[in-house]
Structure formats: C-alpha cells, structure tokens
C-alpha cells in the first residue's frame, strides 16, 4: 500500500489538476469496491469445491466433468481444518503381536495413524516416533483419483492429479520398523475405494522407500493393524511374512515399492507417457525401452476355454504380436474343449500351449455364457514367469507393446467410471494371489458377471495406460466428431494405435463385406467398417492354413442372414443390409 500511495502522490504532484485528483479518487473507490465485493461474494469453500468440480469440458468421447485440481485442492485443505471434529481422547492399550520378538523390535519405530492409542507396549521394543500427517479431506472421493476420462491426448491442458497430503519426510531419520493402523470400513458399500485408506498405504510405502532401514535382501519391515487385508496392489501378497489377528507383518522389496510410489497416485494421470519425453517427469521412455528390450521371465498370454469360437481371434492375435517383433514367449492357456486340429493351428500361429482346468464363477447360473469366466485367474498360476501381459483374443496388436513389461500389476487402460478394461493387463503371477482370488470367488460381486468386474474389486488401485494401447472399438459418445477421430485412428498406416479391441460381434463372425454390428440394434455402437477392414487386411496377409481357421459355420451364416433381414425390417438408415455379400467364406462353410 505504501508504494502505491507514494506513486499516486508523485502523479498528483506532477499534474495537480482537480479533475485528475477526482478521477484518481474514483479509481480508488472502484478499486476498493471490487475488493469488498470479492470478499463479500467469495463463496464458502464447499460451494467453491462444487463449482470447481462441476466444470465441464468437452472432448473426444463426450462432455466430461473436469476437475480443476489447483482450485479444488485448496478448498479441500481448508475444509479439512474446519471440519475436523474434536475427538475425545480414549486411550486404549495397543497390544503388540506375539511375533514382535522375531521382527526384532528395533531402535526406531515409526507409528502412523495411532491417534487415540497408548503405545507404551511398543515402547518396550524401541523408541516410538509418531509420524505426523494431514488426513485427506472427506470430500476427496475415489473418482477424483480415478476419473473416467482424463485429457491424455492433451487436447486441453493435459491430465492432472489432485494431491494427497504426505508427511514431511525430512523430519524423520531412518526407521527400523514402520507400524501403521489402516482404516477399514468393510463391509460398508464401497469400502475398498476409500481415499483415506489409500493415503495411509501410500504414506507407509513412501516412508519405507525414503526412511526404511533395508536388510541384506534390500527389504524393509512394515506392520499393519487392520481388520481387512492391506491393499495387495501396494503391499504384495508374497511379501506378507506373518499374520496374527489384526496384525499383518510385511517385508516388502524396496526396489518394487520404489517403482510403485513413482507412479501417479491414481488413474488421474498416465503411467506411461504417450508422447515420449516432456509429458511426464517421472518416466524417461528411452530408459524403459532399454530396460524392457531383454526378454526376462516374461510372456504374452491369452486364454481360450469352453468353446472354439475365439480360435481365429487367438490366431490373428499371435500373428499380430509376432509381427511387432517381440521376443517374449507367447503362451496360450486352453482347456480340452479346443480340438486337436485347432490346437495344431494355434501352435502354427505361434502359441505355446498350456492346458488348464477352467474356473467356474460360482455366482453364474449353470449353462450361461459367462459360467467359466473366472478361468483367467489361471494367469496367476504361471509362476515360472515374473510378469505376463494378458491380451484378450479379440484384440489385434498393431505396434510393439513390450514397454508394458516395465509396469507393475495392476496396469491397464480405462473402461468406464473407475473401472479398468481387463482386455490388456499387466499381471504378476503368484500362488498367493491366485489363492486369494479363488477364496474371494463367492464373496465378491462382479458387476458384469465376468472377470473384469471381479478383478476390479480386487485391484481397485491401478495404473492407467494410454487408451491407444487397448483402443476399444466403440462409439459410446455417438457423435460425428468421435466417429471421425476414431475412424482416422483405426485406418492410420503406419498405425497410430497400439491395438484395436474388437468389442461387439467379432470380425471373423461377420461377412468380410461390412461390420455386422450394423445389423443389430444394441450392437450398433460397436460398428466400424474402417476397423473391420483393418482386421481383414491383416487376415489377408496371413498364411492360408491359418486363414482356414476363420471360416463361417452353417449356423453362423444362418444367423448373419437373419440379422440382415431384421435390419432391413428395422430400416436402419445406414443400409448396410443392402450391401451384396461377396465374401467367399459363404461358399466354403466349415463345421
Ligand atoms: C473407551 O473405548 C472403549 C471401547 O473402545 C469403550 O468401551 C469405553 O467405554 C471408552 N471409554 C470412555 C471413557 O469413553
Ligand atoms: C506355485 O505352486 C505350484 C504348485 O501348485 C508350484 O509347482 C510352484 O513352484 C509354486 N510357485 C512358486 C513360485 O512357489
Ligand atoms: C464370458 O466369457 C465368454 C466366453 O467364454 C465371453 O463371450 C463373454 O463375453 C464373457 N463375459 C464377460 C462378462 O466377461
Ligand atoms: C445416436 O444418435 C442418433 C442421431 O444422432 C440417434 O438416432 C441414435 O438413437 C443415437 N444412438 C444411441 C445409441 O444413442
Ligand atoms: C446386388 O446384386 C443384385 C443382383 O445380383 C443387383 O441387382 C444389385 O444392383 C446389387 N446391388 C448393389 C448395391 O450392388
């Protein structure tokens, strides 16, 4: 204010006319009015929060609610201070687990999130150091960390993540042991997607990486007090050493944990930068490329079970993977429903075959189409590999994706809301995880009756790949902008997408003349002649022997012709049903 006043005095001295003085006074008045108005009208922080959150931005897929992170986080922080209820202190004695002596106690024990407990028992085993942190706001929801849409193509300002408060790590020295109390709202609806619960996990992971003492095997010691199992996305199943009542003792590998905490805190940002350097400070793609060029105990895997209708898809998948020049193993998990001649063709296409027993979804009705969809869990039994990339048999890979072996479980592309698409995912085989999945078969409700719904309840914290890695063939936005953009991406040669995921009816189940999704009302959102032609172009380049596995059955031909008739009856405006069929497969039906 002083400087401004002086400046004004100078002006007034230089030009002492009455008119000017009045004008300056008016300017002053206006200036203060604006300040008063802005003070008066300043919205309360919660209103601010809502306004910010409801900012709508439109882009490729549709209009999306885009959260202005900068504004919002400020509001959230204000809320935390104001809303924190004053708790009555009720000290409860915190009993140490009986295996504490095996852990060795230690000189320094970091205690996290024990507010109302008396930890004098722990003090007998070493000096306890409370870790101070600011609890994340109640208003901070899972969907802020896992938004359905992010601006990954940087059409607007690029993706952004909100902040999760972390302790000031510089205040703490090396810790021999980290002990944390995890919140657990189970069985309240949505308990697994609890931001506070994630916050405590991430603080522990960061503490372990930054301040945890390492043993000879480069592991550190972490103990949780929790009613539910700590998140296995952060603290791997295999690293659990002991469990007793509500006590969980882990010895996580620091290198893996370090990788984990270097990734974005949610799917609000990409784990894999799309445009190479510059977009993401965490990852330097060239380094990843070097690190993933040597084949380790890693493989691409797909699963066929219950019927042969995806054999052709698996064949084109293998051929497309080989064309990308990968040197990883291609493993096909299959059950006995795949006959000898098909097995031979699958081998010829490039797969190594491994027989599995399919896994029933106990909640599925007998004889339904998704009865055995939990067979994918067998991926976790492939413990002769450290990491596998699962790919659905209705995906055509167009560019090398070996880069994905760099990422931890669970890494995938987004599907909708906070759900990842299980069509391409990074999986770390583990007997322990497999057992866990099997044990939860009855308890977990899968929203779509399939493995995708199930796995999304187990791995709620996942890392987002650019959607170009697993580009879904859908037109959910139903706009010409979307159709134009996606068609251009499907057609681009050299390819712009890493793979195309053929949702809806599969190309080999249609006549090659056009995408038969056009003929069925509720499948029309999946129809794309451009993507369809792309698949057939790939088919044409395959060996004739392999092509023969993609024939039409008598039954399928009848269905197709029926669908065309129905489309005519409906009078679909695009008139695909009018197209004359020239597909030679119609003349050479298979069994
Ligand atoms: C303290 O908490 C325990 C249960 O956690 C309860 O039984 C007890 O009544 C509480 N004491 C006071 C003084 O609130
Ligand atoms: C996982 O279990 C199978 C037996 O079910 C065993 O052969 C395999 O060695 C185990 N893998 C590891 C890494 O322990
Ligand atoms: C279940 O598996 C069948 C094939 O085995 C597949 O057609 C279907 O889409 C799957 N369902 C879900 C919901 O994943
Ligand atoms: C897509 O839009 C068209 C007209 O623009 C409309 O007739 C059609 O019903 C829409 N489809 C869906 C699935 O919303
Ligand atoms: C389809 O074939 C019929 C006769 O074979 C012909 O009359 C008709 O013009 C053809 N339609 C198109 C769109 O080529």
Span 427-458, pLDDT tens digits: 999 999 999 999 999 888 888 878 999 999 99
Residue 118's pLDDT band, with cuts at 50, 70 and 90, is confident
Query: Average pLDDT of 468-480?
Result: 94
The residue whose CA is least distant from atom 12 of ligand 1 is 90
Q: In what order do the strands lie in the sheet with 463-464?
A: 352-355, 329-334, 298-304, 387-391, 419-427, 411-416, 463-464
Predicted local confidence at residue 309, as pLDDT: 94
In angstroms, what is the span from residue 551 Cα to ligand 5's centroid? 24
Of 265, 152, 155, 163, the closest CA to residue 205 belongs to: 265
Instruction: Please state the atom number of ligand 4 nearest to the C-alpha of residue 525.
Output: 13
In angstroms, what is the span from residue 218 Cα to ligand 2's centroid? 24
In angstroms, what is the span from residue 571 Cα to ligand 4's centroid? 14
In angstroms, what is the span from residue 482 Cα to ligand 4's centroid? 13
Burial letters for 329-348: b for 16+ Cβ neighbours within 10 Å, e otherwise?
A: bbbbbbbeebeeebbebbee
- Nearest ligand, CA of residue 371? 3
Predicted local confidence at residue 103, as pLDDT: 83
The yes-or-no verdict on residue 264 having pLDDT over 50 is: yes
Residue 70's pLDDT band, with cuts at 50, 70 and 90, is very low
Predicted local confidence at residue 295, as pLDDT: 64
Is-above-0.75 flag for pTM? Answer: yes
Instruction: Please state the atom number of ligand 3 nearest to the C-alpha of residue 310.
Output: 4
With a 6 Å cutoff on the Cβ, whether 580 touches ligand 5 is: yes
The yes-or-no verdict on residue 20 having pLDDT over 60 is: no
Q: What is the DSSP letter of 313?
A: H
With a 6 Å cutoff on the Cβ, whether 573 touches ligand 5 is: no
Predicted local confidence at residue 365, as pLDDT: 84
In angstroms, what is the span from residue 580 Cα to ligand 5's centroid? 6
Cβ atoms of 498 and 404 closer than 8 Å: no
One DSSP character per residue, 386-414 reads SEEEEE-TTEEE-S--GGGGGSPSSEEEE
The residue whose CA is least distant from atom 14 of ligand 1 is 90
The residue whose CA is least distant from atom 4 of ligand 1 is 92
Predicted local confidence at residue 43, as pLDDT: 35
Burial letters for 510-540: b for 16+ Cβ neighbours within 10 Å, e otherwise?
A: bbbbbbbbbbbeebbbbbbbbbbbbbeebbe
Range scoring the smallest mean pLDDT among 115-124, 319-328, 523-532: 115-124
The residue whose CA is least distant from atom 8 of ligand 5 is 580
Residue 92's pLDDT band, with cuts at 50, 70 and 90, is confident
The two structure tokens encoding residue 291: 């690190």
CA distance 201 to 230: 8
In angstroms, what is the span from residue 317 Cα to ligand 4's centroid? 32
The yes-or-no verdict on residue 13 having pLDDT over 90 is: no
Per-residue pLDDT of 285-301, as tens digits, reads 666 677 666 668 999 99
The yes-or-no verdict on residue 1 having pLDDT over 50 is: no
In angstroms, what is the span from residue 297 Cα to ligand 2's centroid? 15
The two structure tokens encoding residue 544: 């004739």
Which residue(s) pair with 127 in the sheet?
A: 108
Predicted local confidence at residue 101, as pLDDT: 86
In angstroms, what is the span from residue 146 Cα to ligand 5's centroid? 51
Per-residue pLDDT of 377-419, as tens digits, reads 999 999 999 999 999 999 999 999 999 999 999 999 999 999 9
With a 6 Å cutoff on the Cβ, whether 449 touches ligand 3 is: yes
Share of the chain above pLDDT 70, in %: 81
In angstroms, what is the span from residue 484 Cα to ligand 2's centroid? 49
The H or E element spanning position 340 is helix 340-349
Predicted local confidence at residue 3, as pLDDT: 43
Residue 90's pLDDT band, with cuts at 50, 70 and 90, is low
With a 6 Å cutoff on the Cβ, whether 448 touches ligand 3 is: yes
Instruction: Please state the atom number of ligand 2 nearest to the C-alpha of residue 381.
Output: 1
The yes-or-no verdict on residue 42 having pLDDT over 60 is: no
Predicted local confidence at residue 209, as pLDDT: 97
Residue 9's pLDDT band, with cuts at 50, 70 and 90, is very low
Of 382, 396, 425, 426, the closest CA to residue 408 belongs to: 426
With a 6 Å cutoff on the Cβ, whether 582 touches ligand 5 is: no
Most confident of 7-11, 101-105, 426-430: 426-430
Predicted local confidence at residue 79, as pLDDT: 46
The residue whose CA is least distant from atom 13 of ligand 5 is 579
Query: Average pLDDT of 322-348?
Result: 97
CA distance 452 to 461: 14
In angstroms, what is the span from residue 547 Cα to ligand 5's centroid? 28
With a 6 Å cutoff on the Cβ, whether 28 touches ligand 3 is: no
With a 6 Å cutoff on the Cβ, whether 383 touches ligand 2 is: yes
In angstroms, what is the span from residue 372 Cα to ligand 3's centroid? 8
In angstroms, what is the span from residue 58 Cα to ligand 5's centroid? 42
CATH 3.40.50 domain span(s) along the chain = 92-261
The residue whose CA is least distant from atom 12 of ligand 4 is 478
The residue whose CA is least distant from atom 13 of ligand 1 is 90
Mean pLDDT of the chain: 85
Residue 83's pLDDT band, with cuts at 50, 70 and 90, is low
The residue whose CA is least distant from atom 3 of ligand 4 is 478
The residue whose CB lies within 8 Å of the most ligand 5 atoms, and thus the one to mutate among 511, 513, 514, 580, is: 580
The residue whose CA is least distant from atom 1 of ligand 2 is 431
Share of the chain above pLDDT 90, in %: 69
CATH 3.90.550.10 domain span(s) along the chain = 279-465
Cβ atoms of 507 and 519 closer than 8 Å: no
Query: Average pLDDT of 509-530?
Result: 97
The residue whose CA is least distant from atom 9 of ligand 4 is 478
Predicted local confidence at residue 368, as pLDDT: 80
In angstroms, what is the span from residue 361 Cα to ligand 3's centroid? 11
For domain 279-465, the CATH architecture is Alpha-Beta Complex (3.90)
Higher pLDDT, 1 or 384: 384
- Nearest ligand, CA of residue 527? 4
Predicted local confidence at residue 94, as pLDDT: 83
The yes-or-no verdict on residue 46 having pLDDT over 50 is: no
**261 burial via Cβ count (<10 Å: 0-12, 13-18, 19+):** middle
The CATH number fitting domain 92-261, selected from 2.40.30, 3.40.50, 1.10.3470, 3.90.660? 3.40.50
Predicted local confidence at residue 28, as pLDDT: 54
The residue whose CA is least distant from atom 1 of ligand 1 is 90
CA angle 84–86–90, rounded 5-degree value: 125
Instruction: Please state the atom number of ligand 2 nearest to the C-alpha of residue 430.
Output: 13
């Amino acid at each position: 204010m002083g400087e401004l006043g002086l400046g004004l005095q100078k002006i007034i001295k230089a030009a002492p006319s009455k008119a000017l003085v009045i004008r300056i006074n008016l300017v002053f008045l206006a200036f203060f009015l604006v300040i008063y108005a802005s003070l008066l009208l300043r919205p309360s922080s919660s209103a601010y929060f809502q306004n910010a959150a409801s900012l709508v931005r439109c882009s490729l897929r549709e209009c999306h609610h885009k959260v202005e992170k900068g504004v919002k986080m400020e509001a959230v922080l204000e809320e935390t201070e104001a809303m924190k209820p004053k708790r009555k202190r009720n000290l409860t004695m915190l009993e140490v687990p009986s295996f504490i002596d095996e852990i060795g106690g230690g000189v320094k024990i970091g205690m996290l999130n024990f507010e109302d407990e008396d930890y004098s028992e722990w003090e007998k085993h070493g000096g306890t150091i409370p870790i101070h942190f600011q609890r994340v706001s109640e208003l901070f929801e899972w969907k802020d960390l896992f938004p359905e849409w992010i601006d990954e193509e940087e059409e607007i300002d690029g993706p952004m993540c909100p902040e999760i408060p972390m302790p000031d790590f510089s205040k703490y020295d090396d810790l021999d042991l980290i002990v944390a109390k995890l919140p657990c709202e189970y069985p309240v609806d949505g308990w697994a997607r609890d931001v506070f619960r994630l916050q405590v996990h991430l603080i522990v992971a960061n503490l372990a990486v930054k301040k945890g003492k390492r043993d000879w095997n480069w592991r550190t010691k972490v103990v949780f007090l929790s009613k539910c199992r700590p998140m296995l996305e952060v603290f791997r199943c295999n690293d659990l050493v002991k469990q007793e009542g509500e006590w969980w003792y882990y010895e996580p590998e620091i290198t893996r944990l370090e990788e984990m905490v270097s990734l974005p805190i949610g799917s609000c940002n990409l784990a894999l930068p799309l445009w190479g350097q510059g977009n993401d400070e965490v990852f330097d793609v060239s380094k990843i490329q070097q690190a993933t060029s040597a084949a380790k105990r890693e493989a691409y895997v797909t699963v066929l079970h219950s019927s042969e209708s995806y054999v052709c898809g698996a064949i084109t998948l293998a051929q497309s993977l080989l064309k990308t020049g990968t040197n990883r193993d291609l493993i096909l998990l299959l059950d006995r429903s795949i006959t000898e001649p098909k097995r031979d063709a699958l081998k010829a296409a490039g797969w190594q075959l491994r027989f599995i027993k399919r896994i029933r979804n106990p909640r599925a009705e007998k004889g339904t189409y998704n009865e055995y969809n939990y067979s994918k869990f067998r991926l976790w039994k492939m413990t002769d590999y450290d990491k596998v990339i699962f790919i659905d048999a209705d995906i055509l890979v167009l560019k090398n994706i070996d880069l994905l072996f760099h990422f931890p479980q669970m890494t995938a592309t987004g599907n909708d809301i906070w759900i990842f698409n299980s069509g391409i995912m990074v999986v770390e085989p583990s007997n322990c995880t497999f057992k866990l999945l099997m044990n939860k078969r009855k308890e977990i409700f899968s929203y779509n009756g399939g493995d995708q719904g199930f796995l999304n309840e187990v791995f709620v914290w996942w890392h987002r790949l650019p959607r170009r890695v697993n580009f879904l063939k859908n037109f959910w936005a139903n706009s010409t902008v979307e159709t134009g953009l996606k068609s251009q991406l499907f057609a681009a040669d050299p390819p712009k997408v890493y793979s195309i995921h053929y949702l809806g009816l599969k190309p080999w189940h249609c006549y090659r003349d056009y995408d038969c999704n056009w003929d069925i009302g509720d499948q029309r959102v999946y129809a794309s002649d451009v993507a369809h032609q792309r698949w057939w172009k790939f088919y044409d380049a395959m060996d004739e022997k392999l092509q023969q596995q993609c024939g039409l059955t008598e039954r399928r031909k009848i269905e197709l012709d029926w669908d065309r008739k129905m489309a005519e009856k409906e009078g679909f405006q695009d008139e695909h049903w009018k197209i004359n069929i020239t597909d030679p497969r119609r003349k050479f039906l298979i069994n």
